[in-house]
Structure 1
Amino acid sequence: MNDGFSSEIRVAEDDHRSGDGSYDATARIVDAGSTDDDGVVEAALRPRRLADFPGQPKVRDQLGLVLEAARRRGAPPDHVLLSGPPGLGKTTLAMIVAAELEQPIRVTSGPAIQHAGDLASVLSSLTEGEVLFFDEIHRMSRPAEEMLYLAMEDFRVDVIVGKGPGATAIPLELPPFTVVGATTRAGLLPAPLRDRFGFTGHLDFYEDADLETILARSAGLLEVESDPDALAEIARRSRGTPRVANRLLRRVRDWAQVHGTGRVGLDAAHRALALFDVDDIGLDRLDRAVLDALCRRFGGGPVGLSTLAVSVGEETDTVETVAEPYLVRQGYIVRSPRGRLATPAAWQHLDLSPPAGAQTPLPLSGETDAGRLG
């Protein structure tokens, strides 16, 4: 494979997954042939180098400086923490860190590390300079977190042998390595763990122009003919998220191949996105269900998150992490201490008039951005 990622790749997790739940991502990448699974294609569309990573200019420049300085010193860089909503490129950046350092990467996740022994198994198998990527690092168990503190700072772990008064701690020296942590909930990370990351980068939603660049590159890798106005339309409805943009591109491609000429044009984009319930501003079924429940059933609020989630038949975490960030960012919902409130923009989008007495969201004292309430 070259840096342009001209061929698709397939991730063969089962072949190289360890008993502790981690796996060597470098060894996992094999040729895909004609496989066209969504997960396979998504992996194939990831940029391999920092220079090819579109958007997030501040994080990209800062991370590039950290990696270049480490290369010149000939030592592993500081540990890296990446935070932000799902689908913005945290995993991609972790893969890029390893590629820029020309080191292997071992991938695991917070939920997979439930015991200190799980983490000790992963750490003891690392080689010098290797990158250890923790996805959803905030979900790691507390005993494993405490072991990770010592490993990140002193590159050693204490393995406890035995139980009770006869237990002894055997120190295990580790080679220098770099931890890359990704989290969608940075506030849930304990301060001692967060402070051990030398570089912290927050990824924000992308501008439409950056998404168009991503879509043009993805269309080329997928060998799909496309029109710029169609890519612009897809980008506008992608909620500022590259993962959503690439998924919508594949669905428009599917529609064009089945019902059209195979070319991703503006008409194909309009028809395909309408078929998959993506409206003119990128709201999907769940987003509209949340707005509809908030306005029609609860008179615009305030209403509690759990009540709102039950009314749309979803889990609380799904509403809070999937629907709310975009709705708040677009100014359709306000998160207040008393509950969720619909803004005038939400009523207007649903072609509804607020009932008499409906509460209008107002910023808290000293707060000018209503979307940051809560």
Structure 2
Amino acid sequence: MTSHVDDGGDHSVGRSLIAAEAAADESTVEAALRPRTLAELIGQGRVRDQLGLVLEAARSRGRPPDHVLLAGPPGLGKTTLAMIIAAELSAPLRVTSGPAIQHAGDLAAILSSLAEGEVLFLDEIHRMSRPAEEMLYMAMEDFRVDVVVGKGPGATAIPLEIPPFTLVGATTRAGLLPGPLRDRFGFTGHLEYYEVDELDEIVRRSAQLLDVPITDHAAREVASRSRGTPRIANRLLRRVRDYAQVRADGVVRTKTAQAALDLYEVDEEGLDRLDRAVLDALCRRFGGGPVGVSTLAVAVGEERETVEEVAEPFLVRRGYLARTPRGRVATPAAWRQLGLAPPADAAFGQSPSLFDDP
């Protein structure tokens, strides 16, 4: 589980607080807050039980477990689970990422240096280059790779045996993984968003580890605004802690938590400035849609990717926004959230619009 040190000005702070991706400077706090074993892990009960069975069976056989694929939105604990797998197996952990492996030789260098039973964690595995991906097929299945020496007609493939290892792949875009790669994973765990009760427990645990005095009601307040994501919950906890230290007596009570989260523009539903701007533009400027996401991004002064990857998934999940073939449309819940009555012709994109993306 993770936390956050916010970045620059007010505009970016508000968005970074509810972005599920980890910031570059979060690693130190992440290490302090992550659970070390499956028994310490809060939430993800189905995946936890299934993975526990896989690991226990592997330990009883004295062999590395099957390769593991962890799929789900950012901030739900894929990296934490990879570290837990290594800890449960008492095995060393090697960490890398798909974008860092752009050539087959990069992957060969990593694989050839693995020790027997070592756990290789490959984050963002869907972003690995195709040549490296094809080399990984053979490594996962046969524990060997063919290293090509030379070029052209004189090139020679030298088989290189590698010790048995366990690959833990993590992806936020499981649909982008080719079938042959998915099929080589013996276990796939799909991580789900957390319930408020689970986040409440996570906030109280993190507060204890960070030595933050917090009341039960205040912990619940933070959890309820965390968008189902532990990383965001821990991030909000740190900002609430800062507020309590500077503007209160250091103890995080309900009113302190509410004042802090209001300052950072995170409302009771977990909506932040960007979310509200998207809903406001969609309803007030475009009559509820349908409207293309690029047009919507221009209307709120953000990049298309920011709207599509930060705001839109949460708005869809909470039932405020719907995706249609013609564009994004506001649901009746979105109109009510803004205190507006939906017009009669705003029935989920049935009316024509000039603002669809081509």
Distance 1:197 1:252 in 2: 41
Q: What's the TM-score, normalizing by structure 1?
A: 0.85
Corresponding position of 2:347: 359
Match of 1:339 in 2: 327
- Contact 2:98/2:127 (CA < 8 Å) preserved in 1? yes
Choose which of 147, 167, 174 in structure 2 pairs with 1:179: 167
Matches within 5 A, 1:23-34: none
Residue pairs, 1:309-328, within 5 angstroms? 309-328=297-316
Query: Which amino acid is 2:348 matched to?
Result: T
User: Which residue number corresponds to residue 45 of structure 2?
Assistant: 57
Find the counterpart in structure 2 of residue 170 from structure 1. Answer: 158
* Residue of structure 2 equivalent to 1:27: none
Q: Any conservation in 2 of the 1:334–1:361 contact (CA below 8 Å)?
A: no
Q: Say which of 146, 171, 176 aligns to 1:158.
A: 146
CA distance in 1, matches of 2:226, 2:85: 26
Return the letter of the residue paired with 1:352. L
Structure 2 unaligned segments of length 5 or more: list them: 3-24, 351-358
Structure 1, unaligned stretches of length 5 or more? 9-36, 363-374
2:231 paired with 1:249: no
Whether 1:96 aligns to 2:96 is no
Distance 1:314 1:121 in 2: 40
| 1: CA distance, partners of 2:151 / 2:75 | 43
Tell me how far 1:38 sits from its aligned partner.
Answer: 4.2
CA distance in 1, matches of 2:171, 2:120: 14
Q: How far off its partner does 1:42 sit?
A: 2.3
Deviations 1:178-227 (A, max 9, x none): 11011111000111111111000111110011001111110100011110
Q: Does 1:216 align with 2:226?
A: no
Q: Establish whether residue 300 from structure 1 lines up as the match of residue 288 from structure 2.
A: yes
Question: Which structure 1 residue ranges, 4+ long, deviate > 6 Å from structure 2?
Answer: none
* Residue 276 of structure 2 corresponds to residue 288 of structure 1: yes
Residue of structure 2 equivalent to 1:115: 103
- Cα offset, 1:309, TM superposition: 2.3
Q: Which residue of 2 aligns with 1:23?
A: none
The amino acid across from 2:272 in the alignment is D
CA shift, 1:335, in A, is 1.2
Aligned residue identity for 2:268: D
State the 1:163 CA deviation. Answer: 0.6
Shift in Å, 1:322: 1.7
Per-residue CA distance 1:232-262 (angstroms, 9 max, x = gap): 0110000000000000000000000000010
When normalised by structure 2's length, the TM-score is: 0.89
**Residue identity matched to 2:307:** V
Answer yes or no: is the 8 Å Cα contact 2:240–2:261 preserved in 1: yes
SS at match of 1:257: helix
Amino acid at match of 2:188: T
Residue 152 of structure 1 contacts residue 179 of structure 1 at CA under 8 Å; is this kept in 2? yes
Q: Is it true that 1:131 corresponds to 2:146 in the alignment?
A: no
Deviates more, 1:292-301 or 1:241-250: 292-301
SS in structure 2 at match of 1:280: coil
1:204 pairs with one of 183, 192, 201: 192
Q: What is the identity, as a one-letter code, of the residue corresponding to 1:146? A: E
Displacement after TM superposition at 1:39 (Å): 3.3
Q: Which has the higher contact order (CA 8 A, sep 6+)?
A: 2
Q: CA deviation at 1:296?
A: 1.7
Give 1:329 deviation, angstroms: 1.0
Aligned-residue Cα RMSD (Å) equals: 1.6
| CA offset digits 1:292-351 (Å, max 9, x no partner) | 221122211111222222322333332222212211111001111221111000011011
SS of 1:99's partner is: helix
Contact 1:113 1:140 survives alignment (8 Å) = yes
- SS for the counterpart of 1:172 is strand
* 1-structure distance, mates of 2:304, 2:166: 34
Number of matched pairs? 328
Q: Does the Cα contact within 8 Å between 1:81 and 1:200 map onto a contact in 2?
A: yes
| Residues in 2 aligned to 1:38 and 1:191: alpha-carbon distance in whole angstroms | 33
Distance 1:59 1:247 in 2: 24
8 Å contact kept, 1:293–1:308: yes
Query: Matched residues in 1 for 2:224 and 2:165: separation?
Result: 40
2:94 alignment partner, SS class: strand
Is residue 2:338 matched to residue 1:350? yes
Cα distance in 1, alignment partners of residues 188 and 292 from structure 2: 32
- Number of the residue aligned with 1:372: none
Give 1:144's aligned residue: 132
Moved more, 40-49 or 173-182: 40-49
CA contact (8 A) 1:134 1:180 kept: yes
Amino acid at match of 1:58: R
